[in-house]
Homo-oligomer: A and B are copies of this chain.
Amino acid sequence: MHFSIDRKYFYDKLSIVSRAISVFSPLPALSGICIDLKDGSMILTGSDSNISIRTIIVPGELNNLDIEEEGSIIIDSKYLLEIVRKLDCKNIEIEVIDYSLVRISSDNGQFNLNGIRSNEYPDIDFTQPNHHFVLKATDLKSIVSQTAFACSDKDQRPVLTGVNFNSQSNMLYCSGTDSYRLARKTIELNSSQDFNITIPSKSLTEVVRSISDDDTIDIYADFKKAQFVFDKTIIQTRLIDGTFPDVQRIIPTSCVSKMLVDSYEIAGTIDRTNFIRNDKVHLIKLECSTAETHVKTYSSEIGNSDEVLTKCEYEGEDISLTCNGTYMLDAIKALGCEKVLIEFSGFMKPIKVSNPEDASVLMILVPIRSYD
Protein backbone atom coordinates (compact mmCIF):
# COMPACT_ATOMS: atom_id res chain seq x y z
CA MET A 1 0.00 0.00 0.00
CA HIS A 2 1.37 3.39 -0.95
CA PHE A 3 -0.39 6.72 -1.55
CA SER A 4 -0.14 10.46 -1.09
CA ILE A 5 -3.00 12.86 -0.30
CA ASP A 6 -3.81 16.43 0.68
CA ARG A 7 -3.23 16.55 4.44
CA LYS A 8 -6.19 18.80 5.37
CA TYR A 9 -8.69 16.84 3.26
CA PHE A 10 -7.46 13.53 4.64
CA TYR A 11 -7.71 14.87 8.21
CA ASP A 12 -11.35 15.90 7.73
CA LYS A 13 -12.28 12.44 6.44
CA LEU A 14 -10.32 10.65 9.18
CA SER A 15 -12.14 12.79 11.76
CA ILE A 16 -15.50 11.62 10.46
CA VAL A 17 -14.71 7.89 10.55
CA SER A 18 -12.89 8.21 13.89
CA ARG A 19 -16.17 9.31 15.52
CA ALA A 20 -17.28 5.68 15.49
CA ILE A 21 -14.17 4.50 17.29
CA SER A 22 -14.21 3.89 21.01
CA VAL A 23 -10.95 4.30 22.92
CA PHE A 24 -11.98 1.42 25.15
CA SER A 25 -12.35 -1.12 22.37
CA PRO A 26 -11.67 -4.67 23.54
CA LEU A 27 -10.56 -5.63 20.03
CA PRO A 28 -7.24 -3.89 19.14
CA ALA A 29 -8.21 -3.69 15.45
CA LEU A 30 -11.29 -1.62 16.33
CA SER A 31 -9.20 1.10 17.96
CA GLY A 32 -7.78 1.72 14.50
CA ILE A 33 -8.99 3.15 11.21
CA CYS A 34 -8.97 0.64 8.38
CA ILE A 35 -7.52 2.15 5.20
CA ASP A 36 -8.32 0.16 2.09
CA LEU A 37 -7.03 1.13 -1.36
CA LYS A 38 -8.77 -0.74 -4.14
CA ASP A 39 -10.26 -0.17 -7.58
CA GLY A 40 -8.57 3.23 -7.74
CA SER A 41 -10.21 4.67 -4.56
CA MET A 42 -9.61 4.79 -0.86
CA ILE A 43 -12.12 3.39 1.66
CA LEU A 44 -11.79 4.49 5.28
CA THR A 45 -13.68 2.52 7.95
CA GLY A 46 -14.11 3.10 11.67
CA SER A 47 -16.37 1.13 13.99
CA ASP A 48 -17.14 0.27 17.59
CA SER A 49 -19.45 -2.52 16.38
CA ASN A 50 -22.56 -0.52 17.42
CA ILE A 51 -21.89 2.29 15.00
CA SER A 52 -19.74 2.01 11.89
CA ILE A 53 -18.67 4.76 9.54
CA ARG A 54 -17.29 4.26 6.04
CA THR A 55 -16.26 6.96 3.62
CA ILE A 56 -14.87 6.71 0.11
CA ILE A 57 -12.27 9.05 -1.33
CA VAL A 58 -12.13 9.12 -5.12
CA PRO A 59 -9.02 10.80 -6.55
CA GLY A 60 -9.79 14.39 -7.51
CA GLU A 61 -8.56 17.95 -7.49
CA LEU A 62 -9.70 18.66 -3.95
CA ASN A 63 -7.90 15.75 -2.34
CA ASN A 64 -4.82 15.28 -4.53
CA LEU A 65 -5.10 11.53 -3.86
CA ASP A 66 -2.40 9.67 -5.75
CA ILE A 67 -2.41 5.87 -5.36
CA GLU A 68 0.93 4.27 -6.16
CA GLU A 69 0.14 0.79 -4.89
CA GLU A 70 -3.15 -0.66 -3.67
CA GLY A 71 -3.47 -2.57 -0.40
CA SER A 72 -4.83 -2.14 3.08
CA ILE A 73 -3.79 -1.58 6.71
CA ILE A 74 -5.23 -0.67 10.12
CA ILE A 75 -3.63 2.32 11.91
CA ASP A 76 -4.38 3.39 15.48
CA SER A 77 -6.85 6.24 15.04
CA LYS A 78 -5.57 8.37 17.94
CA TYR A 79 -1.99 8.39 16.66
CA LEU A 80 -2.91 8.73 12.99
CA LEU A 81 -5.20 11.72 13.65
CA GLU A 82 -2.59 13.39 15.84
CA ILE A 83 0.15 13.09 13.23
CA VAL A 84 -2.03 14.20 10.32
CA ARG A 85 -3.40 17.14 12.34
CA LYS A 86 -0.04 18.38 13.54
CA LEU A 87 2.09 17.95 10.42
CA ASP A 88 3.05 21.24 8.86
CA CYS A 89 2.90 20.45 5.14
CA LYS A 90 0.45 20.33 2.23
CA ASN A 91 0.64 16.66 1.21
CA ILE A 92 1.51 13.57 3.16
CA GLU A 93 2.62 10.18 1.95
CA ILE A 94 1.68 6.89 3.59
CA GLU A 95 3.29 3.56 2.81
CA VAL A 96 3.30 0.09 4.33
CA ILE A 97 7.03 -0.65 4.36
CA ASP A 98 7.34 -3.99 6.06
CA TYR A 99 4.58 -6.42 7.00
CA SER A 100 2.50 -4.00 9.16
CA LEU A 101 4.95 -1.12 9.70
CA VAL A 102 3.47 2.08 8.27
CA ARG A 103 5.62 5.00 7.17
CA ILE A 104 4.03 8.46 7.19
CA SER A 105 6.24 11.00 5.47
CA SER A 106 6.07 14.78 5.29
CA ASP A 107 8.49 17.34 3.88
CA ASN A 108 11.11 17.15 6.66
CA GLY A 109 10.64 13.88 8.40
CA GLN A 110 8.86 10.64 8.84
CA PHE A 111 6.95 8.56 11.38
CA ASN A 112 7.02 4.77 11.47
CA LEU A 113 3.98 3.38 13.23
CA ASN A 114 3.17 -0.17 14.17
CA GLY A 115 -0.02 -0.93 12.24
CA ILE A 116 -2.27 -4.00 12.24
CA ARG A 117 -2.82 -6.18 9.18
CA SER A 118 -6.23 -5.53 7.68
CA ASN A 119 -7.32 -9.19 7.78
CA GLU A 120 -7.75 -8.71 11.55
CA TYR A 121 -10.52 -6.16 10.93
CA PRO A 122 -13.98 -7.60 11.65
CA ASP A 123 -16.30 -8.10 8.71
CA ILE A 124 -18.82 -5.28 8.80
CA ASP A 125 -21.94 -5.78 6.71
CA PHE A 126 -22.73 -2.53 4.88
CA THR A 127 -25.57 -3.94 2.73
CA GLN A 128 -28.36 -1.45 2.28
CA PRO A 129 -31.61 -2.01 4.23
CA ASN A 130 -34.78 -1.71 2.15
CA HIS A 131 -36.86 1.10 3.71
CA HIS A 132 -35.69 4.37 2.21
CA PHE A 133 -36.56 8.00 2.90
CA VAL A 134 -34.86 11.35 2.52
CA LEU A 135 -34.33 14.14 5.05
CA LYS A 136 -32.72 17.53 4.71
CA ALA A 137 -29.68 17.84 7.00
CA THR A 138 -31.31 20.80 8.76
CA ASP A 139 -34.42 18.70 9.50
CA LEU A 140 -32.34 15.82 10.87
CA LYS A 141 -30.38 18.27 13.00
CA SER A 142 -33.52 19.74 14.52
CA ILE A 143 -34.97 16.26 15.17
CA VAL A 144 -31.85 15.32 17.09
CA SER A 145 -31.40 18.61 18.96
CA GLN A 146 -35.08 18.66 19.93
CA THR A 147 -35.54 15.03 21.00
CA ALA A 148 -32.24 13.29 21.90
CA PHE A 149 -31.74 15.31 25.13
CA ALA A 150 -34.89 13.73 26.59
CA CYS A 151 -33.65 10.16 26.15
CA SER A 152 -32.65 8.17 29.19
CA ASP A 153 -28.95 7.81 29.98
CA LYS A 154 -29.54 4.73 32.10
CA ASP A 155 -29.41 1.20 30.78
CA GLN A 156 -32.31 -0.24 32.82
CA ARG A 157 -34.73 0.18 29.91
CA PRO A 158 -32.49 0.16 26.83
CA VAL A 159 -35.31 1.20 24.48
CA LEU A 160 -35.49 4.58 26.24
CA THR A 161 -31.86 5.38 25.38
CA GLY A 162 -32.85 5.91 21.75
CA VAL A 163 -35.02 8.23 19.68
CA ASN A 164 -38.06 6.48 18.24
CA PHE A 165 -38.72 7.13 14.53
CA ASN A 166 -42.31 6.17 13.82
CA SER A 167 -43.73 6.73 10.38
CA GLN A 168 -47.36 6.40 9.38
CA SER A 169 -48.24 7.32 5.78
CA ASN A 170 -46.11 10.41 5.09
CA MET A 171 -45.72 11.69 8.65
CA LEU A 172 -42.59 10.95 10.70
CA TYR A 173 -42.95 11.18 14.50
CA CYS A 174 -39.64 11.32 16.37
CA SER A 175 -39.82 10.88 20.15
CA GLY A 176 -37.32 10.84 22.99
CA THR A 177 -38.41 9.99 26.52
CA ASP A 178 -36.91 8.84 29.81
CA SER A 179 -40.45 8.18 31.16
CA TYR A 180 -40.46 11.46 33.17
CA ARG A 181 -40.48 13.70 30.12
CA LEU A 182 -41.14 13.47 26.42
CA ALA A 183 -39.81 15.46 23.48
CA ARG A 184 -41.50 14.98 20.13
CA LYS A 185 -40.78 16.38 16.69
CA THR A 186 -42.99 15.77 13.67
CA ILE A 187 -41.69 15.99 10.10
CA GLU A 188 -43.61 15.58 6.83
CA LEU A 189 -41.94 13.12 4.45
CA ASN A 190 -41.99 13.20 0.66
CA SER A 191 -43.07 9.57 0.44
CA SER A 192 -45.46 7.35 2.33
CA GLN A 193 -43.70 5.08 4.82
CA ASP A 194 -44.59 2.53 7.46
CA PHE A 195 -41.93 1.72 10.04
CA ASN A 196 -41.23 2.00 13.75
CA ILE A 197 -37.57 1.92 14.78
CA THR A 198 -35.54 3.19 17.74
CA ILE A 199 -32.09 4.62 16.98
CA PRO A 200 -29.50 5.02 19.79
CA SER A 201 -29.31 8.72 20.65
CA LYS A 202 -25.52 8.49 20.75
CA SER A 203 -25.45 7.36 17.11
CA LEU A 204 -27.74 10.22 16.09
CA THR A 205 -25.45 12.70 17.81
CA GLU A 206 -22.50 11.37 15.80
CA VAL A 207 -24.52 11.61 12.58
CA VAL A 208 -25.40 15.28 13.08
CA ARG A 209 -21.81 16.11 13.97
CA SER A 210 -20.72 14.73 10.61
CA ILE A 211 -23.23 16.39 8.27
CA SER A 212 -23.24 19.90 6.77
CA ASP A 213 -26.35 22.05 6.62
CA ASP A 214 -26.69 21.79 2.84
CA ASP A 215 -26.42 17.99 2.71
CA THR A 216 -29.39 15.79 1.85
CA ILE A 217 -29.41 12.61 3.88
CA ASP A 218 -30.60 9.30 2.47
CA ILE A 219 -31.80 7.10 5.28
CA TYR A 220 -32.13 3.35 4.87
CA ALA A 221 -33.57 1.18 7.61
CA ASP A 222 -34.83 -2.30 8.40
CA PHE A 223 -35.62 -3.90 11.75
CA LYS A 224 -31.94 -4.39 12.65
CA LYS A 225 -29.99 -1.38 11.43
CA ALA A 226 -30.19 2.09 9.92
CA GLN A 227 -27.86 3.80 7.46
CA PHE A 228 -27.37 7.52 6.95
CA VAL A 229 -25.81 8.17 3.57
CA PHE A 230 -24.41 11.50 2.35
CA ASP A 231 -21.40 12.77 0.43
CA LYS A 232 -19.79 9.33 -0.18
CA THR A 233 -20.11 8.52 3.53
CA ILE A 234 -22.21 5.84 5.22
CA ILE A 235 -22.93 6.01 8.94
CA GLN A 236 -24.50 2.74 10.01
CA THR A 237 -25.95 2.06 13.42
CA ARG A 238 -27.61 -0.91 15.03
CA LEU A 239 -31.16 -0.30 16.27
CA ILE A 240 -32.42 -0.82 19.80
CA ASP A 241 -34.61 -3.88 20.33
CA GLY A 242 -37.82 -3.62 22.31
CA THR A 243 -41.17 -1.93 22.05
CA PHE A 244 -41.07 1.82 22.43
CA PRO A 245 -43.84 3.01 24.78
CA ASP A 246 -46.97 4.48 23.23
CA VAL A 247 -46.20 8.12 23.99
CA GLN A 248 -49.24 9.47 22.15
CA ARG A 249 -51.49 8.65 25.10
CA ILE A 250 -49.60 10.87 27.56
CA ILE A 251 -49.91 13.96 25.39
CA PRO A 252 -52.75 15.97 26.99
CA THR A 253 -55.59 16.80 24.63
CA SER A 254 -57.03 19.67 26.66
CA CYS A 255 -55.82 22.15 29.25
CA VAL A 256 -57.25 23.91 32.32
CA SER A 257 -54.90 26.87 32.09
CA LYS A 258 -51.98 28.15 30.03
CA MET A 259 -49.31 30.76 30.08
CA LEU A 260 -47.27 32.47 27.41
CA VAL A 261 -43.87 33.45 28.83
CA ASP A 262 -40.72 35.12 27.65
CA SER A 263 -38.21 32.24 27.16
CA TYR A 264 -35.20 34.29 28.18
CA GLU A 265 -36.83 35.39 31.43
CA ILE A 266 -38.11 32.00 32.56
CA ALA A 267 -34.88 30.24 31.51
CA GLY A 268 -32.83 32.78 33.50
CA THR A 269 -35.08 32.40 36.52
CA ILE A 270 -34.81 28.59 36.51
CA ASP A 271 -31.09 28.61 35.80
CA ARG A 272 -30.35 30.96 38.72
CA THR A 273 -31.89 28.54 41.20
CA ASN A 274 -30.09 25.53 39.76
CA PHE A 275 -27.96 25.08 42.89
CA ILE A 276 -30.94 24.84 45.26
CA ARG A 277 -31.34 21.10 45.10
CA ASN A 278 -32.93 18.29 47.07
CA ASP A 279 -31.02 15.00 46.83
CA LYS A 280 -29.27 16.44 43.79
CA VAL A 281 -32.60 17.08 42.02
CA HIS A 282 -33.49 20.64 41.06
CA LEU A 283 -37.19 21.05 41.88
CA ILE A 284 -39.09 24.19 40.96
CA LYS A 285 -42.58 25.09 42.06
CA LEU A 286 -44.72 27.08 39.65
CA GLU A 287 -47.45 29.08 41.40
CA CYS A 288 -49.61 30.54 38.72
CA SER A 289 -52.62 32.82 38.86
CA THR A 290 -53.91 35.52 36.56
CA ALA A 291 -52.45 38.06 39.00
CA GLU A 292 -48.87 36.75 39.23
CA THR A 293 -46.67 33.76 38.38
CA HIS A 294 -44.02 32.75 40.92
CA VAL A 295 -41.12 30.37 40.39
CA LYS A 296 -40.08 29.04 43.79
CA THR A 297 -37.47 26.60 45.04
CA TYR A 298 -36.82 25.18 48.47
CA SER A 299 -34.06 23.14 50.08
CA SER A 300 -33.79 22.79 53.84
CA GLU A 301 -30.01 22.57 53.56
CA ILE A 302 -29.21 25.39 51.15
CA GLY A 303 -32.09 27.88 51.26
CA ASN A 304 -34.96 28.99 49.09
CA SER A 305 -35.87 31.42 46.34
CA ASP A 306 -38.92 33.21 45.02
CA GLU A 307 -39.04 35.11 41.73
CA VAL A 308 -41.96 36.66 39.85
CA LEU A 309 -42.14 36.36 36.06
CA THR A 310 -42.82 39.83 34.69
CA LYS A 311 -43.25 38.95 31.02
CA CYS A 312 -46.04 36.41 31.39
CA GLU A 313 -49.64 36.19 30.18
CA TYR A 314 -51.69 33.66 32.15
CA GLU A 315 -55.24 32.50 31.60
CA GLY A 316 -57.37 29.79 33.18
CA GLU A 317 -57.69 28.47 36.73
CA ASP A 318 -55.01 29.04 39.42
CA ILE A 319 -52.56 26.19 39.67
CA SER A 320 -49.55 25.21 41.75
CA LEU A 321 -47.25 22.44 40.54
CA THR A 322 -43.73 21.17 41.22
CA CYS A 323 -41.56 19.87 38.40
CA ASN A 324 -37.94 19.13 37.62
CA GLY A 325 -36.28 22.47 36.86
CA THR A 326 -33.50 20.93 34.80
CA TYR A 327 -36.07 19.21 32.58
CA MET A 328 -38.08 22.42 32.18
CA LEU A 329 -34.91 24.31 31.23
CA ASP A 330 -33.88 21.59 28.74
CA ALA A 331 -37.33 21.76 27.13
CA ILE A 332 -37.27 25.57 26.82
CA LYS A 333 -33.75 25.51 25.37
CA ALA A 334 -34.60 22.77 22.88
CA LEU A 335 -37.62 24.75 21.63
CA GLY A 336 -35.27 27.67 20.96
CA CYS A 337 -38.03 30.22 20.46
CA GLU A 338 -38.66 33.70 21.86
CA LYS A 339 -41.86 32.86 23.72
CA VAL A 340 -42.95 29.49 25.06
CA LEU A 341 -46.45 28.30 25.70
CA ILE A 342 -46.87 26.26 28.89
CA GLU A 343 -50.20 24.39 29.16
CA PHE A 344 -51.42 22.74 32.37
CA SER A 345 -53.91 19.88 32.22
CA GLY A 346 -54.57 19.82 35.95
CA PHE A 347 -52.91 19.09 39.31
CA MET A 348 -50.31 16.29 39.03
CA LYS A 349 -51.14 15.95 35.33
CA PRO A 350 -48.65 16.32 32.45
CA ILE A 351 -47.45 19.81 31.52
CA LYS A 352 -47.12 20.63 27.84
CA VAL A 353 -44.41 23.06 26.75
CA SER A 354 -44.40 24.23 23.14
CA ASN A 355 -43.55 26.92 20.64
CA PRO A 356 -46.78 28.84 19.89
CA GLU A 357 -45.48 29.47 16.36
CA ASP A 358 -44.38 25.93 15.48
CA ALA A 359 -46.75 23.01 15.99
CA SER A 360 -44.16 20.46 14.80
CA VAL A 361 -42.47 20.18 18.18
CA LEU A 362 -43.75 19.66 21.72
CA MET A 363 -42.39 18.79 25.14
CA ILE A 364 -44.21 17.01 27.97
CA LEU A 365 -43.10 17.07 31.62
CA VAL A 366 -44.55 14.95 34.39
CA PRO A 367 -45.04 16.95 37.63
CA ILE A 368 -43.47 15.74 40.89
CA ARG A 369 -45.34 15.39 44.16
CA SER A 370 -43.82 17.68 46.78
CA TYR A 371 -44.68 17.94 50.45
CA ASP A 372 -44.11 21.52 51.50
Contacts and interface: CB of A to CB of B under 8 A. Distances in A.
B275 A108 contact: no
Nearest to A88: B268
State how many copies of this chain the complex holds: 2
Interface stretch (A36-44, A110-118, A213-221): A110-118
B112 A303 contact: yes
A109 B304 contact: no
A24 B79 CA distance: 37
A78 interface: yes
A275 B82 contact: yes
Given A79-B275, A82-B274, A274-B82, A304 B111 contact: yes
Interface in A94-142: 101-102, 108-114
A302 B86 contact: no
Nearest to A307: B109
Q: Give the interface size bracket for A toward B.
A: 35 or more
Contacts of A268: 86, 88
- Tell me the interface secondary structure of chain A in the complex: mixed
Interface in A306-342: 306-310
Contact of A114 (B76, B271, B272, B301): B301
15 contacts: A76-B302, A78-B275, A82-B272, A82-B275, A86-B271, A86-B272, A101-B303, A108-B307, A110-B307, A111-B276, A111-B303, A111-B304, A111-B305, A112-B305, A114-B303
Interface of A: 76, 78-79, 82-83, 86-88, 101-102, 108-114, 268-269, 271-276, 295, 301-310
- Which 6 pairs of residues, A with B, have the shortest CB-CB distance? A109-B307, A113-B303, A86-B272, A111-B305, A112-B303, A112-B304
